[in-house]
Amino acid sequence: MVMRQLYIKDILAIYRQQRKEGAYLFSDIKPEYYEKLGFKAISIEQPYGDTCCMVNVFNENESLYNHAPRYF
- More confident of the two residues 70 and 11: 11
Is 71 inside any structural domain? no
pLDDT of residue 66 exceeding 80: no
DSSP type of residue 17:
H
pLDDT of residue 37: 92
Is 40 inside any structural domain? yes
Mean pLDDT of 54-70: 79
d(CA 37, CA 50): 21
Is 3 inside any structural domain? no
pLDDT of residue 9: 92
- Give how far the C-alpha of residue 26 lies from the chain's centroid of Cα atoms, to the nearest Å: 7
Q: Domain of 52? A: 8-66
Is 13 inside any structural domain? yes
| Angle at the Cα of 37 from the Cα atoms of 35 and 40, rounded to 5 degrees | 35
Is 57 inside any structural domain? yes
What contacts 62, CB < 8 A, 6 or more positions away?
A: none
DSSP type of residue 5:
P
Number of compact structural domains in the chain: 1
pLDDT digits (tens, 9 = 90+) for 4-54: 777 999 999 999 999 999 998 888 888 898 999 999 988 766 666 677 888
